[in-house]
Amino acid sequence: NAGVTQTPKFQVLKTGQSMTLQCAQDMNHNSMYWYRQDPGMGLRLIYYSASEGTTDKGEVPNGYNVSRLNKREFSLRLESAAPSQTSVYFCASILGGVGTDTQYFGPGTRLTVL
C-alpha cells in the first residue's frame, strides 16, 4: 500500500516550457487535491476533485489545469511555466470530504522555473 505517490520528485523547467505533475493514490479515496507551498506562505489550494469526473478551482488556479483521469489519478499541468510557479507541489487525497476524514499527502514535487 503506497498511499499517495507523486512524480517527478524534482524538476527544472525553463520559462515557457510545459509539464505535467502526476499523482496517484491506492487508498480508494474519492477526493484529491493539488497544493503549492512557498516559503512563509503555507499550503495554498490550486485545484481539487471532490469525486471522479469533477474538478474545481481552489485559491490559486491561474496558470494550471488539472485532469482527474480516473479514481486513482489526478494530474496537474503547467502549460507555459513562469518563474512565479517555482514551488513545492503536494498532492493529497481523502476518502470523503475534509470534515471528518484524514487528508493524506504525497511526498511532493520540487519545481524550479528558470
Site residues, another protein (CB under 8 A): 31, 35, 40-45, 48, 50, 56, 58-59, 90, 97-100, 102-103, 105-108
Whole-number minimum distance, CB 15 to another protein, in Å? 26
Whole-number minimum distance, CB 37 to another protein, in Å? 9
Whole-number minimum distance, CB 21 to another protein, in Å? 14
Distance of CA 96 to the CA centre of its chain: 17
C-alpha cell at 106: 504525497
Q: With respect to another protein, which residue has the nearer C-beta, 5 or 17?
A: 5
CB atoms within 10 A of CB 104: 15
Q: With respect to another protein, which residue has the nearer C-beta, 13 or 92?
A: 92
Torsion of the alpha carbons at 91, 62, 65 and 25, rounded to the nearest 10: 10
Q: Which residues pair with 11 in a beta bridge?
A: 111
Q: With respect to another protein, which residue has the nearer C-beta, 85 or 93?
A: 93
- Report CA torsion sign: 22, 8, 1, 43: negative
Whole-number minimum distance, CB 66 to another protein, in Å? 14
